[in-house]
Each structure stands twice: as C-alpha cells, then as structure tokens.
C-alpha cells in the first residue's frame, strides 16, 4: 500500500467495535459516531480484497455504511452509504441508464 492510499483511508477513519472469534475482525458490531456507539443490526455483505476486508452494514439508527478494515495498519475506515437506506442497491452502484437498479447484478 502506498502512502497516498494510506492517507486516503486515514481520512475516513472510524472507530469500530468488532467481534473476534477465530480471527479479527470476524464481523463489526458497532460504529462510534459523535461519541455514541451505534449497534450494527445487519451485515448485508462482506468481502476480502488483497489488502483489506470490506463490510456493507446497517446500523440501529437506520443508516448504512461501507466499512473497510486494513490489517497491516490495524485501521478501520468507512463512509455512510446514503443510497442504501431502504434500498438493496446503493444509487452509486446503479448504471446511469437503470435508475431503479432493476438490471444491477
């Protein structure tokens, strides 16, 4: 990972509490926002990339987040997924010619 990529991840750093079963992190359990811990109520998807793990989660306050954990840096980063609230397909993932997401895989 180069320094620019690391700086980008650190710019979106979030505090996350995660369950550690056989390995860390097995799954995120809460996100701290404005000094308050908000429980994760659902994990919509999770994946592994070469240098990080990703989770798409829903929180108890109704918001959805994309979270990434980078083991090399022991760093969580994330962004609110504003297109996902009440919708299984975030607007940012939809094709421009398919605004309702009907053809989105």
The lowest-confidence range among 27-31, 64-68, 84-88 is 84-88
- Residue 91: phi, psi to the nearest 5? -55, -35
How far, in Å, CA of 99 to CA of 93, rounded?
10
Q: How high does pLDDT run on average in the chain?
A: 81
Per-residue model confidence (pLDDT) at position 1:
74
Bridge partners of 28, per DSSP, are 18
**pTM score, whole prediction:** 0.72
């Amino acid at each position: 990972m180069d320094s620019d990529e690391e700086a980008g991840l650190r710019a979106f750093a979030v505090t996350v509490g995660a369950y550690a079963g056989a390995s860390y992190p097995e799954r995120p359990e809460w996100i701290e926002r404005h000094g308050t811990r908000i429980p994760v109520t659902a994990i919509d998807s999770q994946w592994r990339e070469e240098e990080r793990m990703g989770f798409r989660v829903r929180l108890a306050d109704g918001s959805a987040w994309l979270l990434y954990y980078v083991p090399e840096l022991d760093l969580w980063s994330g962004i609110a997924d504003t297109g996902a609230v009440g919708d299984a397909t975030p607007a940012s993932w939809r094709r421009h010619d398919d605004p309702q997401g009907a053809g989105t895989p």
